[in-house]
Each structure stands twice: as structure tokens, then as C-alpha cells.
Amino acid sequence: MMAMQEQDALCFPLLVNASCRKMQRPPSAAALSFMLLSAISLITFTLNLLVIISISHFKQLQTPTNLLLLSLATSDFLVGFLVLFQIFLLDGCWFFGDSMCVAYHVLNYVITSASIGSMVLISVDRYLAICDSLRYPIKVTQLRVKICVFLCWSASLVFQCFCFLNSLKQPGRFNACVGECVVVVTYAVGMTDLFFSFIGPLTVIVFLYMRVFVVAMSHARATRSHMGIVTERSTTIKSSELKAARTLGVVVVVFIACIMPYFCIVISGQEVVLNASSAALIISLFYFNSCLNPLIYAIFYPWFRRSIKIIVTLQILKADSSQANIM
């Protein structure tokens, strides 16, 4: 009886001497974690899929700014896929092999880097739209935005593969037992990642949004005092751009708040060991951010609410639905 209980506590009961032990937690806590992660996964999949379908389908929504939102929604959608792995890791056991373990962590970091890169591009877009509005349509075209998004994702993939090069060469080299999923990020690599994936982009984002804020305040004062010499059309465009800047500013602030805990850990330690159990809280916070972004769009963007209505009611299946007036 004792032997059977001992085997049940192992990730791989047939490998008694080599298997890792399962995490011992109350059944109620395990059930709550399962329901919470399942809800996050479902909400993340559904809401971000709605964003992807909306921007991809409706021609009116395919603006340079929305293409950047499409990139961000794609990364958030992939996060919903990663949550499914997290559900399997509730007992602390990894059943998918050493190669998949490394791929899981690399994908996690690639998505994070691509999300941060998308945030930087969004900040640049808002800066040009507000601070250089006359030349914005010339400087920011759909083709240029697509190229920037492609370079963002490509650079994230190459950079993170370089960071995890040792683990990619020899998957499982840091595992102490069978059923463990561990990758080691050395201090040098961690600090490099910290600068290129957080400090550098964060500095750019804060600087650009401060410039946007200053210009927006100047515009508001000029409007109130009737000193701004603008046409009716340019005033309307300016107002819409300012509203978009405020909405995307909220997205950026929420995103930074959700990813900051990990980078704080990188700064505080000489060496960061990431495994499926110890990183659960930090990863879950990142997952939660992916649920929040579509909710922010739903609150601030009327076009997103209209597009959801068309999609849910299946009006999107009509032949001319892509030409619908969403704005």
C-alpha cells in the first residue's frame, strides 16, 4: 500500500529512481487553479480571435494602427495556447519531453519580446500621428507597418534562440530528474535580455508618450483659447488620433505592469532558474494581460463592439460583409 502511494506521488511511476515528485497541493486548490487557467485560456482565445477576425476581415479597419493591434492580438492569441500547457503543469510534472520543454520556454519569450516590440511600434505610430500629423499618412503606410511587424517577430525569434542556445543544443541538461522542465538563464544573458527586451523599449515608450502628452496638452490649450488655426477636417482627425493615443496608452501601461515582475526578478538575482512551478505566478500575470487587451478595446473602441456584433450574429458570412461600415 505504501509502495503504491509512493508511486502515485511520482510523475513517472515506472521510473522510481529517476522520476520527479508531483507537487502536493489540496484538491480544492488544484481544482481552483484548473478552473482559473481554463477560464483565462478560453477568454484569451475567444476575445483575441475576435480582434484578429475583425481587423483581418473588415477593409475599413485595416489601417496602419490597427495592423499593429493585429500583431499584438496575435501574440495574445498564442498566449492562450500556452495556457493549455500551464494547465497540464498544475502538479509540477512535464510530460512532453525535453525538446518541447525548451520550445515552450523559447516560445514564451518570443511572444513576450514580440509583444514589447509591438508596443514600441504602437508608441512610434502614436508619436508620428500626433507630433507629425501632416506627414503621418506619407510616413506610415500599410506596407511599411507590415515590414516593421515582420522584422519585430523575426528579431524576437532570432534573439531568444540566441539566449537559449545552450538549452537548444542540449535539451534537458539542467533537469535534475525525469518530468522536470528547467532552463537556466545566466546573469549575462538575463541582463542582455533585460536591456533589449525591457529597459530599452520601456525608455522609448515612455519618452514617446511623454512627447505625445505634451503635444496633446498644447493642442487642448490652443483649442480652449481658440488660438489653434486648424480646419474643421484637421480638428476631427486630431481628436480621433488623440483618442486612439489615450486608448493605446492604457494598453501600454497595463502591459508594462503585467510584465514588470519578471524583469524585477532578473535585476535582483545573479542567476534566474525558471521552471514550470516556480514561474507559475509570473507567467499567469502575463497571461492575464492577454485577456485584458481585448476588454480595453471593447471599452474604448466602438468599432470593436460593432464588429463583434456582426461576427456573433453571423452577418460576417454575407458576401459584402467585408465592406461594412464599422467606424
pLDDT at 234: 43
- The DSSP H or E segment spanning 12 is none
Percent share of the chain, pLDDT over 90? 12
pLDDT band at 8 (very low <50, low <70, confident <90, very high): low
Mean pLDDT of 195-210: 85
Task: Flag whether pLDDT at 9 surpasses 80.
Answer: no
Residue 162, number of CB atoms within 10 A of its CB: 12
Domain ranges of the chain: 30-323
Mean pLDDT of 48-72: 91
pLDDT tens for residues 219-238?
666 666 655 444 443 444 45
- The DSSP H or E segment spanning 245 is helix 232-268
CB 22 within 8 A of CB 88: no
* 3-state SS class at 164: coil
Mean pLDDT of 69-93: 83
pLDDT at 278: 47
pLDDT band at 242 (very low <50, low <70, confident <90, very high): low
10 bridge partner residues:
21
Query: What are the start-end ranges of the E strands in 140-196?
Result: 182-185
What percent of the residues of the chain are helix, what percent strand, and what percent coil, each to the nearest 5?
75, 5, 20
The class level of CATH for 30-323 reads: mainly alpha
Distance CA 271, CA 255 (A): 25
